[in-house]
């Protein structure tokens, strides 16, 4: 049986010690999930290609892979999934407070969103991978909800 392995991708001007990342890691590690909070390069002046390279080099696809993105980590993951990783087995994706377009006064981040995202194709690939493995534990979470329910 494959090890569940969750990768957290932080956002702009953040680090692995920011926000709720450590809390989530502690919670999941206690449930026997391996968790890596990836340290992305130059978070104050991010470059898409550098972030994609670090993400690609960090993930072990021999494990059962889950991706969690926060802020700039969200379009980073979406770009990653539209590349060669889309063919890999991704068991789940969670995007928190992300964006998919230009943000006023933060145009220097536009390279992360300028290509656009085929969100329907991405969702289809992820769900196809989950159901092919017999996943029956899909969770639905509403925006702002403090808990989730089984689908």
Mean pLDDT on 112-128: 70
Tokens of 25: 């890691």
Given this model, what pLDDT does residue 128 score?
61
Closest to 7 (Cα-Cα) out of 30, 33, 32? 33
Burial of 122 (0-12, 13-18, 19+ CB in 10 A): middle
Supply the pLDDT for residue 117: 72
The model's pLDDT over 17-68, given as tens digits with 9 standing for 90+, comes to 999 999 999 999 999 999 999 999 999 999 999 999 999 999 998 899 999 9
CA distance 73 to 148: 22
H/E element holding 147?
none
pLDDT recorded at residue 26: 96
Give the pLDDT confidence score for residue 141 in this predicted structure. Answer: 47
Radius of gyration of the chain (CA): 15
What's the confidence (pLDDT) of residue 50?
98
Q: How far apart are CA 93 and CA 6, in angstroms?
A: 9
**pLDDT the model gives residue 5:** 96
pLDDT at residue 123 is higher than 80: no
Compute the average pLDDT of residues 109-115: 91
The DSSP 8-state label assigned to residue 29 in this structure reads H
* More confident position, 91 or 16: 16
Determine which helix (DSSP H) or strand (DSSP E) holds 58, and give its type and residue range.
Answer: helix 48-58
Lookup result for tokens 């390069």: 41
Confidence of residue 70 (pLDDT cuts 50, 70, 90): very high
What pLDDT was estimated at residue 105?
A: 95
- Spacing of C-alpha 51 from chain mean position: 12
- Whether residue 134 is predicted with pLDDT greater than 90 in this model: the reply is no
The predicted structure's pLDDT at residue 81:
86
């Amino acid at each position: 049986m494959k090890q569940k392995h969750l990768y957290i991708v932080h956002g702009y001007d953040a680090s692995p010690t920011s926000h709720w990342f450590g809390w989530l890691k502690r919670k999941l590690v206690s449930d026997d999930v391996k968790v890596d909070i990836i340290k992305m390069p130059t978070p104050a002046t991010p470059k898409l290609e550098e972030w994609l390279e670090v993400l690609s080099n960090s993930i072990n696809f021999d494990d059962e892979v889950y991706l969690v993105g926060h802020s700039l980590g969200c379009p980073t993951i979406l770009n990653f999934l539209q590349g060669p990783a889309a063919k890999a087995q991704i068991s789940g994706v969670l995007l928190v407070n992300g964006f998919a377009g230009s943000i006023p006064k933060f145009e220097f981040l536009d390279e992360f969103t300028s290509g656009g995202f085929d969100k329907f194709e991405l969702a289809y690939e992820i769900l196809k991978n989950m159901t092919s493995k017999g996943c029956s534990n899909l969770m639905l979470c509403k925006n702002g909800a403090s808990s989730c329910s089984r689908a």
